[in-house]
């Protein structure tokens, strides 16, 4: 990637020096006396040179290259429309000023942004590059660019030369819609802020013990029955129930709408159908798919049920193929996430007491014993993997799928620390790093838990997120197996959009720099200094964000304790789960 950036820099120098006349309109917009300010782009560009002066975008000329595709042109026009709204001045569609140009030599997510006295040039090859160029420009402009009304603040774009491309192709963010359900509008708002920080994979967690969220027309009871639970536990009182029936699901048309909305933001939606565990909602709807036949009930409490799909029942595979056929019809993504985690809670092994599963082990030649359940899960995984592969799809599974013998071609998502990803890479499997110790955003953000909204536990301040390096611990030569990095946001204790956004932001900003920036481009002090401007933008956009890094704790932003008070509090309330 660095070689490509150097080549782009040389190409851009030629374009700047001989790219045509110096349009007088463009020159009139350049303010050479404009005061230089620190660049506050998140994620930070991998190659940036800051000049002097700034270009005033109010009423500028705009040209959109004829070779630019319609999706990219829409992104550009949306950016121009926002400029016109906040400046109150119409732009002019003509050459000179702000020019968007196709550069077919660039990768799909690369872009070049050059601002000088001749105007502004944006070069990219495809939607991702043009989108990310506009997102960078918005962050370089005053935060008022994110508003929906005219402002008196000048839209001055500082003189810069940026040649940028991501470190990782897979840059993911996860959302659990099962423990608590999120409307289509809330999901789209989530996607919007992902695009703002150049995150391009949305891991859509759709099935759980506590609810099934995707309409499957062949199996309507999955949502009619499995989409609803008879109440929810209160706080962390495991024996409680609020008595309020809770649930919801997405129709296939709604999901297609989300997929299209995401695609316009250069985001691929990766659905997860978690199997063979985390299936209690499905078993409640179709009890014949379990080892015991039930009765089952959609869980009203958190945690994980030890009731799982019966691996010895061929009807289970007919069911999975029917479900996944409809999943593939709705979601065009290359990858389908099939879960595979937490099938065996503690020492539990429901398959060991099931005659059908034991018969399946005998049929496969699996010796009975402690490892039998893992080899039987490998069989389930491989059958699903083969079916999806016949339709041109690939699987991602949580790192438990490595236990036993994983079939070639699977991708491992390492969540129980980094060890699963390291093991996968050493064995020749691709991996996505999402270790809970660094990237689980359902953990507390400060040590002052009495001031924070309720969380599952742990402690993950933003500086710890930022410190994560995905290649740590890898054997040299295995780095290419790390496809990328993702953070996960589980929602057991998160029931409102405000709480969801508070847990996400600004930790997702730190995530974006892990995903985008080359390791030597990261700098926590520079990043932290950027957050004031980011906070202002998020406020204007209507997001709730955590301000612990500014000494304001919790949703109510109460002052942090002094060091002495904090130590006394921690002595009386030690951090744990």
State both tokens at 458.
């742990």
Give residues with Cβ within 8 angstroms of 532, minimum separation 6: 550
Low-confidence ranges of the chain (pLDDT < 70): 1-24, 577
Phi-psi region of 307 (alpha: psi -120 to 50; beta: other; left: phi over 0): beta
- CB of 396 closer than 8 Å to CB of 371: no
End-to-end CA distance of the chain: 41
Q: Return the exposure string of 356-391: e unless at least 16 CB atoms fall within 10 Å of the residue's CB, then b.
A: ebbebbeeeebeeeeebbbbbbbbbbbbbbebbeee
Residue with tokens 């006394």: 568
Q: How many CB atoms lie within 10 A of CB 88?
A: 12
Residues in Cβ contact with 541 at an 8 Å cutoff, skipping those fewer than 6 apart: 146, 192, 193
- Kindly provide the residue ranges of all beta strands, DSSP E only, lying in 177-241, ordered along the sequence: 201-205, 207-208, 211-212, 228-230
Other C-beta atoms closer than 10 Å to the C-beta of 241 total 14
Please identify which residue in the block is written with the tokens 């909602």: 281
Residue recorded with tokens 């004031």 = 532
Cα–Cα distances in Å, from 74 out to 32, 71, 81, 130, 157? 31, 5, 10, 10, 21
Q: Where are the alpha helices (DSSP H) in 182-250?
A: 184-196, 221-224
Give which of 209, 198, 369, 351 is closest to 274, Cα–Cα.
Answer: 209
Q: What is the pairing mode between strands 245-247 and 170-176?
A: unpaired
pTM for the structure as a whole:
0.96
Contact criterion met (CB below 8 Å) for 490 and 456: yes
pLDDT of amino acid 10? 47
Are 40 and 530 spatial neighbours (Cβ–Cβ below 8 Å)?
yes
The two tokens of residue 433 are 């790093």
Contact indicator for 212, 525 with CB cutoff of 8 Å: no
- The two three-digit tokens of residue 72, written as one number: 């990219």
Compute the distance between CA of residue 10 and CA of residue 275 in angstroms, rounded to an integer.
50
Q: Which two tokens stand for residue 296?
A: 């089952």
pLDDT of res. 16? 43
CA atoms within 13 A on the CB side of 118: 16
Cα–Cα distances (Å) from 258 to 43, 77, 324, in that order, read 25, 21, 18
In angstroms, the CA 227 to CA 401 distance is: 27
User: What number of H helices and E strands is found in the chain?
Assistant: 18, 24
d(CA 425, CA 312): 31
Look up residue 145 and give its DSSP letter.
G
* Rounded CA separation 549/545 (Å): 11
Q: Compute CA distances 162 → 27, 51, 132, whole Å.
A: 20, 11, 12
Query: Which pLDDT score is estimated for 24?
Result: 64
**Smallest Cα–Cα separation from 247: which of 279, 296, 209?**
209
Please answer whether residues 333 and 391 qualify as being in contact, where contact means their C-beta atoms are separated by less than 8 angstroms. no
Tracing tokens 């006349």 back to the chain, one arrives at 21
- Which residues lie closer than 8 Å to 170 by C-beta, 6 or more apart? 200, 201, 432, 483, 484, 485, 486
Contact 194, 263 (CB under 8 A): no
Q: Residue 255 to residues 92, 177, 181, 258: CA-CA distances in angstroms?
A: 38, 13, 14, 5
Sequence-separated (6 or more) residues with CB below 8 Å from residue 461: 445, 446, 548
Q: Rounded distance, CA 398 to CA 21, Å?
A: 56
| CB proximity list for 42: less than 8 A, separation 6 or greater | 139, 197, 509, 512, 513, 527, 530, 534
Contact 125, 110 (CB under 8 A): yes
């Amino acid at each position: 990637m660095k070689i490509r950036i150097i080549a782009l820099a040389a190409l851009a120098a030629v374009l700047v020096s001989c790219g045509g006349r110096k349009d007088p309109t463009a020159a009139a917009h350049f303010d050479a006396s404009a005061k230089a300010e620190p660049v506050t782009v998140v994620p930070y560009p991998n190659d940036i040179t800051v000049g002097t002066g700034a270009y005033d975008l109010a009423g500028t000329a705009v040209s959109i290259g004829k070779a630019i595709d319609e999706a990219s042109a829409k992104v550009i026009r949306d950016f121009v429309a926002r400029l016109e709204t906040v400046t109150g001045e119409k732009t002019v569609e003509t050459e000179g000023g702000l020019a968007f140009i196709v550069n077919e030599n660039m990768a799909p997510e690369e872009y070049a942004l050059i601002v000088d006295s001749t105007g502004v040039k944006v070069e990219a090859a495809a939607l991702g590059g043009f989108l990310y160029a506009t997102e960078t420009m918005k962050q370089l402009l005053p935060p008022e660019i994110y508003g929906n009304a005219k402002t008196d603040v000048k839209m001055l774009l500082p003189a810069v030369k940026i040649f940028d491309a991501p470190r990782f192709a897979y840059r993911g963010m996860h959302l659990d819609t099962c423990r608590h359900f999120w409307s289509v509008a809330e999901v789209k708002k989530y996607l919007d802020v992902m695009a703002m920080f150049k995150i391009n994979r949305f891991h859509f967690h759709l099935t759980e013990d506590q609810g099934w969220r995707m309409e499957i027309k062949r199996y309507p009871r999955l949502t009619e029955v499995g989409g609803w639970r008879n109440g929810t536990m209160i706080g962390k009182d495991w024996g409680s129930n609020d008595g309020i029936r809770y649930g919801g699901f997405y129709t296939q048309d709604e999901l297609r709408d989300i997929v299209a909305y995401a695609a316009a933001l250069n985001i691929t939606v990766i659905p997860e159908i978690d199997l063979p565990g985390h299936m209690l909602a499905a078993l409640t709807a179709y009890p014949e798919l379990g080892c015991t036949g039930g009765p089952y009930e959609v869980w009203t409490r958190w945690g994980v049920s030890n009731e799982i799909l019966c691996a010895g029942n061929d009807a289970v595979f007919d069911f999975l193929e029917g479900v996944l056929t409809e999943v593939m019809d709705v979601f065009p993504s290359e990858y389908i996430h099939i879960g595979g985690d937490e099938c065996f809670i503690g020492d539990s092994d429901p398959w060991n007491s099931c005659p059908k599963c034991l018969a399946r082990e005998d049929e496969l030649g699996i010796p009975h014993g402690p490892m039998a359940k893992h080899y039987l899960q490998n069989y389930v995984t491989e059958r699903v993997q083969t079916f999806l592969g016949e339709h041109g799809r690939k699987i991602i599974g949580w790192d438990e799928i490595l236990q036993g013998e994983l079939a070639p071609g699977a991708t491992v998502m390492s969540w129980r620390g980094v060890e699963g990803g390291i093991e996968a890479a050493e064995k020749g499997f691709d991996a996505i790093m999402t270790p809970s110790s660094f990237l689980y955003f359902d953990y507390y953000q400060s040590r002052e838990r009495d001031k924070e909204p309720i969380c599952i536990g742990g402690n993950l301040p933003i500086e710890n997120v930022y410190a994560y390096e995905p290649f740590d611990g890898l054997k040299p030569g295995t780095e290419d197996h790390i496809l990328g990095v993702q953070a996960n946001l589980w929602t057991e204790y998160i029931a409102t959009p405000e709480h969801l956004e508070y847990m996400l932001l600004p930790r997702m900003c730190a995530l974006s720099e892990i995903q985008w920036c080359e390791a030597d481009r990261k700098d926590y002090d520079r990043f932290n200094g950027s957050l004031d401007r980011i906070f202002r933008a998020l406020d204007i956009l209507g997001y709730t964000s955590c301000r612990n890094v500014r000494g304001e704790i919790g949703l109510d932003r109460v002052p942090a304790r002094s060091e002495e008070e904090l130590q006394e509090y921690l002595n009386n309330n030690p951090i744990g789960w």
